[in-house]
Structure 1
Amino acid sequence: MVASPLVWTTLAGLSTGVGGVLAALCPPTRRLLAVSAGFAGGVMLAASLADLVPEALRFYGQYLPPLSCGAALVSLLACGMVAAAALGRLLPDEAALAGRLAGDEARTAALRTALITGTALLLHNFPEGVLTLFAGTADPALGVRTTLAIALHNIPEGLAVAVPFAYALRSRLGGVVAALISGLAEPVGAVLALWCLQGWFTPGFLNGTVVLVAGIMLWVALAQLMPSALLERDRVVGLVGVAAGVLAMLLGIAALP
Structure 2
Amino acid sequence: MLARAVLFSLIPVLAAGVSGVVAALRPPGRRVTSGIQHFAAGVVFAAAAIELLPGVLRQQPWVAIVGFAAGIVVMFAFRAVSSSLERRRTAAGPALPVGLAVATGVDFAVDGLVLGAGFAEAPTTGVLLTVALAVEYLFVGLSLSASMSRGASRRLTAAAPTALSLLTVAGTAVGALLLANASPALLGGVLAFGAVAFMYLATEELLVEAHEQGETALGSVGFFVGFLIYLLLDELIGR
Residues 146, 25 of structure 1: CA spacing in aligned structure 2 closer, same or farther, 3 A cutoff? same
Q: Which amino acid aligns with 1:81?
A: I
What is the identity percentage for the equivalent residue pairs of Structure 1 and Structure 2? 23
Distance 1:191 1:117 in 2: 20
Distance 2:190 2:179 in 1: 14
After superposition, the C-alpha distances for 1:49-73 in whole angstroms (9 at most, x for unaligned) are: 122111322332xxxxxxxx2x543
Q: Which residue of 1 aligns with 2:86?
A: 94
CA contact (8 A) 1:150 1:252 kept: no
Please say which of residues 122-131 and 203-212 is displaced more in the overlay: 122-131
Residues 85, 5 of structure 1: CA spacing in aligned structure 2 closer, same or farther, 3 A cutoff? closer
Distance 2:63 2:179 in 1: 24
TM-score by length of 2: 0.76
> Unaligned 5+ residue runs, structure 1?
61-68
RMSD value, Cα:
3.4
After superposition, the C-alpha distances for 1:193-214 in whole angstroms (9 at most, x for unaligned) are: 455x357743322221121121
Q: Which residue of 1 aligns with 2:144?
A: 161
Match among 222, 235, 238 for residue 254 of structure 1: 235
Residues 166, 124 of structure 1: CA spacing in aligned structure 2 closer, same or farther, 3 A cutoff? farther
TM-score by length of 1: 0.72
Q: Which residue of 2 aligns with 1:44?
A: 44
Residues 101, 28 of structure 1: CA spacing in aligned structure 2 closer, same or farther, 3 A cutoff? farther
Match among 97, 103, 108 for residue 122 of structure 1: 108
Distance 1:256 1:5 in 2: 18
Match status 1:219 vs 2:211: no
Match status 1:242 vs 2:233: no
SS at match of 2:68: helix
Residue 98 of structure 1: CA displacement?
Answer: 3.8
Residues 188, 213 of structure 1: CA spacing in aligned structure 2 closer, same or farther, 3 A cutoff? same
After superposition, the C-alpha distances for 1:166-219 in whole angstroms (9 at most, x for unaligned) are: 345253x43332222333233212322455x35774332222112112113323
Q: Which amino acid aligns with 1:206?
A: L
Residues matched between the structures, number:
237
Residue 235 of structure 1: CA displacement?
Answer: 4.1
Structure number with larger C-alpha Rg = 1
Q: Which residue of 1 aligns with 2:134?
A: 151
Residue 87 of structure 1: CA displacement?
Answer: 0.3
